[in-house]
Amino acid sequence: MERHSISSVHHGHAGHHHHHMPASLSRIFILCIVLNLLFVGIEAAVGFVSGSVGLLSDAGNNLSDVFSLLIALLAIRMSMVRPGRKFTYGYKKLTVLASLMNAVILLVAVGAIVVESIARLNHPQPVSGAAISWTAGAGILINGLTAWLLMRDQEKDLNVKGAFLHMAMDTLVSAGVVMSGIAINLTGMQWIDPAVSLSIAAVILVSTFNMLKESLFLSIDAVPESVDISAIEDGLSSVPGVLGWHHLHVWPISTTENAATVHLVLEDVGCMEKVKSEARSVFGRAGVCHCTIECESGDCRCEASECR
Residue 10: pLDDT above 50?
A: no
Instruction: Give the range with max mean pLDDT: 86-100, 118-132, 253-267.
Output: 253-267
**Do 73 and 154 share a domain, yes or no?**
yes
CATH of the domain at 232: 3.30.70.1350
Q: For 16-70, write each residue's pLDDT tens digit.
A: 444 445 566 777 888 888 888 888 888 888 878 877 766 777 777 777 778 778 8
**Do 214 and 240 share a domain, yes or no?**
no
- Which pLDDT score is estimated for 21? 52
Determine, yes or no, domain membership for 55.
Answer: yes
- Which pLDDT score is estimated for 138? 83
**Do 58 and 177 share a domain, yes or no?**
yes
**Do 73 and 211 share a domain, yes or no?**
yes
Determine what percent of the chain is predicted with pLDDT higher than 70.
83
**Do 197 and 243 share a domain, yes or no?**
no
Q: Which of 49, 112, 102 is nearest to 255 (CA)?
A: 102
Determine, yes or no, domain membership for 305.
Answer: no
Determine, yes or no, domain membership for 4.
Answer: no
Domain end position, chosen among 199, 219, 239 = 219
- Which pLDDT score is estimated for 189? 81
Domain end position, chosen among 167, 184, 219 = 219
The predicted model scores a pTM of 0.66
Q: For 157-201, write each residue's pLDDT tens digit.
A: 667 777 777 777 777 777 777 877 788 778 878 788 778 778 877
- Which pLDDT score is estimated for 127? 63
- Check if the beta carbon of residue 272 is closer than 8 Å to that of residue 294: no
Structural domain range at position 273:
224-296
d(CA 103, CA 72): 12
d(CA 49, CA 59): 13
Determine, yes or no, domain membership for 109.
Answer: yes
- Which pLDDT score is estimated for 260? 94
Q: What's the domain count of the chain?
A: 2
DSSP state of 267: S
The Cα-based distances of 285 to 15, 16, 113, 153, 246 in angstroms read: 8, 8, 44, 20, 20
Determine, yes or no, domain membership for 303.
Answer: no
**Do 209 and 228 share a domain, yes or no?**
no
Determine, yes or no, domain membership for 2.
Answer: no
d(CA 282, CA 16): 12
The more confident residue out of 287 and 143 is 287
Domain end position, chosen among 201, 219, 237 = 219
The more confident residue out of 5 and 113 is 113
Residue 230: pLDDT above 90?
A: yes
- Check if the beta carbon of residue 132 is closer than 8 Å to that of residue 184: yes
**pLDDT band of 259, cuts 50, 70, 90:** very high
**Do 140 and 258 share a domain, yes or no?**
no
CATH of the domain at 70: 1.20.1510.10
**Do 29 and 163 share a domain, yes or no?**
yes
